[in-house]
Structure 1
Amino acid sequence: MDGGAKAKDSSLDPHAVRRFLADNPEFLRADPSLLEELGLRPDAANIIDFGPAALARVHEAHRRENAARKHLEATARANFAAQAQTHGAVVDMLDARNHADLARRVDELAQLRFGLVAGVVALEGPERTPAGWRALVEGQIDMIIGHDRVALMGFEPVALGLFGERAPQVRSMAMVRMAIWEPSREGLLAFGSSDEHGFTEDMGVELVAFLARVVERTAERWPVL
């Protein structure tokens, strides 16, 4: 019982502490060491003023707020720039004259618009593969990105072969399935980055998937000859 009573007595009521300090202002002013711990100091007029520690805390809070705001602004600018480049890439692809030209444009926009190592269009099946496209055996896309996955962001060693002689430069990838023609053939749009953080698993795939849909529709203009 005594131990419980002592524990109860030792707990402080914030309202009681406030009333005590209001009724006894000299308690703080007469204790310099306590004022220093609280980051306060009495000025010449005997008024409590902010001390260096308190000012430092305010400055740090302001610095964090500025850093968070700048991060949000930078993210917004990057997203806007990516969308603008994607829209430009769509116009470039729609101007393609044939399958080979479409594959060339995908590779060029990857390098020139997005600063990537390569952009690749690949197609599965024993049937003929358009010029400039990577030929894959049936089931190879499942091996690369997984049977139940539509897209993959990150690094997948088995996908390096897609990038040919530029494979040693690739440190991360963005890949999206495609279905082209009727009956459909499995395809893959792949981009390779030299930055291991260029494409990561936590990134959204919306823009890359949008480009894949554009490649699908554009490729269906022409039969595979």
Structure 2
Amino acid sequence: MSSSSQRIEDSLRETIIARPDIILDDRDLMQALIAANERSMGGNIIDLRGIAMERLEARLDRLEDTHRSVIAAAYENLAGTNQVHRAILRMLDPIEFEPFLRDLGGDVAEILRVDAMRLVLESNAEDGARTVQRLGKVLSVAEQGFVARYLSAGGQAPLRQVTLRQVQTGDARIYGDRAAWIRSEACLKLDFGPGRLPGMLVMGAEDPHQFTPQQGTDLLAFFAGVFERTMRRWLS
């Protein structure tokens, strides 16, 4: 083969000279050129520059992966923030308690994409259960100390306001006939102020990965804070 046939075509050569960035920006081409350079040097020569470039490329790949993960997490956090804000605005719409409870188990639960929403209030009144029974499946009344026992699940009650956990099956006392489908839940401990017994807002999901202990709780803690203040209006 003649040397003239091995030479690069003039038009391509001129293009590369005019725009060298088209090669510099193409990783596959640059790797091919480096490999050709190593072969021309022979097997007894170590190309330290090539080794350094390989390490830099590996580091760049890791940085790009991290960059993508950070962006994805940022979008997810933004979506979660918007979701909680929409749920709070919907929760604040009703001016009466019964519509408030219906919305809690309806529109608010749908916005938060949970399969069940339950509100538990502790009470010492014997007739308390009869008073709230007609309000539907969202609200239930329990004896004093129930919230702490439920959150502890047989152990020590957590100090944090929000507890995220996976469950084998939901508690029938909380979820009723939906209990068998629940695989994870978010439990929001509620403080209604001095002199009042605590309460608990429980969000149940059929997806076992929707609520896990590894997830952040800041948004749900904010939601719980707004919910507490809203409930104080009804309890006053």
Are 1:154 and 2:165 matched, yes or no?
yes
| Counterpart residue type for residue 137 of structure 1 | E
Percentage identity across paired residues of the two chains: 24
1:186 is aligned to 198
SS in 1 for 2:214: coil
Q: 2:151 aligns with which of 145, 149, 152?
A: 145
Q: 1:106 aligns with which of 80, 104, 107?
A: 104
Aligned residues: 185
2:81 is aligned to 83
What is the distance in 2 between the residues matched to 1:197 and 1:185?
Answer: 31
SS in 2 for 1:222: helix
| Counterpart residue type for residue 151 of structure 1 | V
SS in 1 for 2:228: helix
Q: 1:181 to 1:30 in 2, by over 3 A?
A: closer
Task: State the Cα RMSD in Å.
Answer: 3.1
SS in 1 for 2:121: strand
Mean Cα deviation higher: 56-65 or 169-178: 56-65
2:142 is aligned to 136
- How far is the alpha carbon of 1:84 from its aligned partner? 1.1
Q: 1:66 aligns with which of 57, 64, 70?
A: 64
2:90 is aligned to 92
TM-score by length of 1: 0.68
Tell me, yes or no, if the aligned pair for 1:172 and 1:200 is still in contact at 8 Å.
yes
Higher strand share: 1
Q: 1:134 to 1:158 in 2, by over 3 A?
A: farther
Tell me, yes or no, if the aligned pair for 1:145 and 1:151 is still in contact at 8 Å.
no
What is the distance in 2 between the residues matched to 1:82 and 1:178?
Answer: 21
Tell me, yes or no, if the aligned pair for 1:117 and 1:169 is still in contact at 8 Å.
no
What is the distance in 2 between the residues matched to 1:29 and 1:216?
Answer: 72
